[in-house]
């Protein structure tokens, strides 16, 4: 699971993390938008963190968040929009690059990324559900979109990561820019799924499926063996580089919409830390439920996600700095 990457440190992580440190994150929504072009030499950390190029909104209460950026460079225009909403299971993203002249040695890219995550527990009546080898849970993604590429490339995809219970907080901090948090959540990974959104995408052997027309759907089935945390990601990243000429373009439009749903094992009721995700009951509303940590009302705006947003490449095992955005990265 490795590919080359653009090396960028966890941007402003020290400023982002103190706000997160006072409470454990057990569910969240995040939206990020980034536009870039080498025509302005804007590939350094100090440049990319400027608000005209990048926005991240993070809500540890799981509400709807959005991020949007568009910028016209001398070689063309890049646009990225992203919206996440845990309460409806919706992920919306739009990314577009259009060249107005030959790029030469320049580049033009847009990245729109959405993450939502929650913590699930299965019960049978008032008792914990006992998973057997025959039991199965699944997430289904119903996908509507438009893809239009001419001279562009992309790694756009939907990803689902199933984690051991209690590690969603580390994943959320990683999305926020703390690369060290990778070592807390990655070893606990139970299962992961990647669905590429094509055509126009680079094909890799580890993907579970690739879409070639829309609407379509993907179903990820797994057996966690007990309680689990999860994160799903929609990442779009059309890219133009040499030898793209005037009129070259890359459009990934999944703003109408990626809708996620969950089916628990037969005979079980699914409790969620958020109490928001469709088809689940809040942990503290169930008989014998465990109260969740106090929720936050703070909306976090930050640049911590740049480390993930800028990585166009698959991570090396054990190296968080090499993470691809779609592996949520």
Could you please report the per-residue DSSP string of 25-47? -SSEEEEEEEEEEGGGT--SHHH
What is the pTM (predicted TM-score) of this model?
0.81
Return the domain boundaries, the chain: 13-327
Per the CB < 8 A criterion, the answer to whether 216 and 143 are in contact is yes
Q: Which pLDDT score is estimated for 199? A: 73
Residue 134 burial (C-beta neighbours within 10 Å; 0-12, 13-18, 19+) = exposed
Contacts 24+ apart (CB under 8 A), 69-72: 69/33, 69/34, 69/35, 70/35, 71/35, 71/37
The residues pairing with 139 across neighbouring beta strands, listed in sequence order, are 220, 262
Cα 309 from Cα 140, distance rounded (Å): 25
Q: Does the structure show a pLDDT above 50 at 4?
A: no
Q: Which of 120, 110, 115 is nearest to 250 (CA)?
A: 110
CA dist 249 and 154 (Å) reads 11
Question: What is the structure's pLDDT at 297?
Answer: 27
Q: Is 325 exposed, middle or buried (0-12, 13-18, 19+ CB in 10 A)?
A: buried
pLDDT over 80 (residue 288): no
Residue 193 pLDDT > 70, yes or no? yes
Q: Which two tokens stand for residue 193?
A: 């799924």
Q: Is the pLDDT of residue 290 over 80?
A: no
pLDDT in tens, 41-59: 666 666 777 888 999 999 9
**Highest mean predicted confidence (pLDDT) among 164-173, 292-301, 319-328:** 164-173
For the beta carbon of residue 61, count every other beta carbon within 10 angstroms: 18
The pLDDT, as a whole number, for residue 45 is 65
More confident residue, 212 or 162: 162
pLDDT of residue 8: 26
pLDDT of 201: 67
- pLDDT reported for residue 203: 66
The per-residue pLDDT for range 112-154, each reduced to its tens digit, is: 999 999 999 999 998 999 999 999 999 999 999 999 999 999 8
Average pLDDT, the chain: 81
pLDDT of residue 7: 23
pLDDT in tens, 259-287: 999 999 999 999 999 999 999 999 876 55
Cα(129)–Cα(309) distance, integer angstroms: 38
Return the beta strands (E) in the chain as ranges.
Answer: 28-37, 54-59, 65-72, 76-85, 90-99, 108-124, 127-128, 137-143, 146-150, 157-163, 189-197, 209-211, 216-222, 228-236, 239-240, 249-263, 269-272, 281-282, 300-301
């Amino acid at each position: 699971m490795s590919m080359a990457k653009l090396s960028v440190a966890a941007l402003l992580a020290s400023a982002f993390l103190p706000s997160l440190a006072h409470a454990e994150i057990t569910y969240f929504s995040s939206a990020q938008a980034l536009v870039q072009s080498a025509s302005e030499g804007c590939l350094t950390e100090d440049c990319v963190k400027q608000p005209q190029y990048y926005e991240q909104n993070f809500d540890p209460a799981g509400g709807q968040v959005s991020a949007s950026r568009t910028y016209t460079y001398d070689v063309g225009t890049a646009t990225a929009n992203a919206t996440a909403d845990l309460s409806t299971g919706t992920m919306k993203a739009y990314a577009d690059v259009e060249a107005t002249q030959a790029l030469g040695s320049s580049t033009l890219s847009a990245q729109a990324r959405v993450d939502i995550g929650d913590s699930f527990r299965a019960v049978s009546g008032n008792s914990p559900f006992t998973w057997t080898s025959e039991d199965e849970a699944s997430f289904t993604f119903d996908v509507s979109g438009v893809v239009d590429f001419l001279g562009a490339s992309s790694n756009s995809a939907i990803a689902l990561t199933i984690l051991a219970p209690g590690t969603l907080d580390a994943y959320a901090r990683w999305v926020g820019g703390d690369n060290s948090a990778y070592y807390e959540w990655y070893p606990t990974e139970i299962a992961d799924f990647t669905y590429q959104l094509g055509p126009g995408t680079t094909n890799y052997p580890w993907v579970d499926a690739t879409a070639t027309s829309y609407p379509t759907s993907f179903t990820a089935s797994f057996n966690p063996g007990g309680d689990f945390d999860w994160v799903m990601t929609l990442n779009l990243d059309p890219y133009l580089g040499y030898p793209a000429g005037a009129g070259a373009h890359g459009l990934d439009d999944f703003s109408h919409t990626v809708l996620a749903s969950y089916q628990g094992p037969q005979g079980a009721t699914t409790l969620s830390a958020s109490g928001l995700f469709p088809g689940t009951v809040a942990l503290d509303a169930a008989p014998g439920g465990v109260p969740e940590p106090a929720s936050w009302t703070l909306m976090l705006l930050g640049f911590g996600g740049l480390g993930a947003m800028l990585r166009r490449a698959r991570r090396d095992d054990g190296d968080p700095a090499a993470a691809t955005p779609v592996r949520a990265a």
